[in-house]
Amino acid sequence: MFIPAGSLLNTTFRQLGRKVICGPVLVTRSKSSQPYEQRNELTKSPVCSYNEWDCLEEAIVGRVENATVPELTPEIQAVIPETSWDYFKENAGKFFPTEHMRKARSEIAEFCRILEHEGITVRRPDIIDHAKSFSTPDFTSTGLYAAMPRDLLLVIGDEIIESPMAWRCRFFEYRAYRSLMKEYFRDGAKWTTAPKPLMSDELYDMDYIKSGKRLELPAKGRYVTTEFEPCFDAADFQRAGRDIFCQLSHTTNRMGIDWLQRQIGDEYTIHIVQCQDDAPMHIDASLCLLKPGLVLVNPDRPCYQIDVFKKAGWDVVEAPRPTTPRDHTMWFSSTWLSMNVLMLDHNRVVVDVNEIPTQKLFEKLGLECIKVDLRFASSLGGGSHCWTCDVRRNGSLESYF
């Protein structure tokens, strides 16, 4: 359902309001050994990103280390491929297979080198033990991973928000990012942590799977998460300056979207758009904003509100079908990660080296493809967009609609 916005004007690239200037020359990194009192007095935030396409200067890239098989809880069962169900049941709490993870790790190391070669400062989360079991008054779980910073961290302007993610196994995922968050805070960023969900049984429709209609309910607006308390994953949002697009999904509820809208204020308008998707979780393999005037869509998941983009003069381009072999292990997602791409600026796009049709499309659109091999890394559920969080892009707050 689209929430029509008064702000959807036909003017383009209007430039208004608060402007946070950022750039690597202006940022001095605090030494972690330096006492807080002696931190650098900075006026510029090291965190600054308004959209998916301005020139990328600094990014967090996730980690493979200690990725742990989660328990097959209802909120996971509602979204992951059925082919993973038995594997998760049998291996919950254990690390993912060593050899597969070794390959994924070397792919991610190479991905980091490629980004650095493109002039981007690459930061990494801490290595923590995700297999450690924990309890809250409401539930007991083991962790998952720190592979997908896109799911947790939402950067809107100079604010970096730790999202109230919906999976129990991700309750403590923020811990892997706390060294970075503290550093960004010391250096001037606005650091926010959304209200932590209790994740008690009330947050979940415990009968969602039992109803036997797992694949039909999203069309009726029913998800595995309830409206008991706010929850959202940052990857359900795509930023276009003053307009932010998001979907309701198994990980993002209305109360979560309302919380975010109130938090970021009326400088921004969040629009809910929905795609025809029988297991929605994260918008970035369904609808990807590539640059002003260009949106990439998933032909299997038509977006009901695509006219919003067309009316604003945007080109809507269908992503080619993924080429990942059917028997390739995808524990968490579909193979549509082929369209889960990271823009380095208006002209450069990070695309999987194996996805030739997607590369050809981008080349036809005049984009330069920066090729990375994420075949084994993608088994953990993300492409180059999910594996990263763009902490700083060189740009300002603009309106594109």
Residue positions annotated with a catalytic role: 233, 282, 386
Site residues for ligand DAV, 221-240, by CB under 6 A, read 235
Query: Where does this chain touch ligand DAV (CB under 6 A) — which range of 109-117, 320-328, 347-355, 381-389?
Result: 381-389
84 touching ligand DAV, by CB under 6 A: no
Task: Rank residues 285 and 389 by Cβ distance to ligand DAV and give the closer one.
Answer: 285
CA 45 to chain centre: 21
For ligand DAV, which residue of 336, 362, 387, 401 counts as binding (CB under 6 A)?
336
Joined together, the tokens standing for residue 229 give 């308390």
For ligand DAV, which residue of 141, 238, 253, 334 counts as binding (CB under 6 A)?
334
Residue 220 CA to residue 1 CA, distance in Å, equals 11
Query: Where does this chain touch ligand DAV (CB under 6 A) — which range of 19-27, 174-182, 279-287, 363-371?
Result: 279-287
282 touching ligand DAV, by CB under 6 A: yes
For residue 334, the minimal CB distance to ligand DAV (Å) is: 3
Residue 253 CA to residue 270 CA, distance in Å, equals 13
62 touching ligand DAV, by CB under 6 A: no
Residue 379 CB partners (closer than 8 Å, separation 6+): 96, 100, 104, 328, 329, 330, 331, 332
Residue 355 CA to residue 374 CA, distance in Å, equals 10
181 touching ligand DAV, by CB under 6 A: no
Residue 198 CA to residue 196 CA, distance in Å, equals 6
281 touching ligand DAV, by CB under 6 A: yes
Written as one string, the DSSP assignment of 241-276 is BTEEEE---SS--HHHHHHHHHHH-TTSEEEE--B-
Task: Rank residues 27 and 79 by Cβ distance to ligand DAV and give the closer one.
Answer: 79
Phi, psi at 191, each rounded to 5°: -115, 125
284 touching ligand DAV, by CB under 6 A: yes
Residue 320 CA to residue 364 CA, distance in Å, equals 13
362 touching ligand DAV, by CB under 6 A: no
Phi, psi at 274, each rounded to 5°: -120, 145
342 touching ligand DAV, by CB under 6 A: no
Element (H, E) at 358: helix 356-364
- Tell me the number of residues near ligand DAV by CB under 6 A: 12
For ligand DAV, which residue of 120, 165, 285, 303 counts as binding (CB under 6 A)?
285
Say if CB 139 and CB 22 are below 8 A apart. Answer: no
58 touching ligand DAV, by CB under 6 A: no
Residue 237 β-bridge partners? 246
381 touching ligand DAV, by CB under 6 A: yes
Helices (H) and strands (E) in the chain — how many of each?
8, 19
333 touching ligand DAV, by CB under 6 A: yes
Interface residue list for ligand DAV (CB under 6 A):
235, 281-282, 284-285, 333-334, 336, 340, 381-382, 386
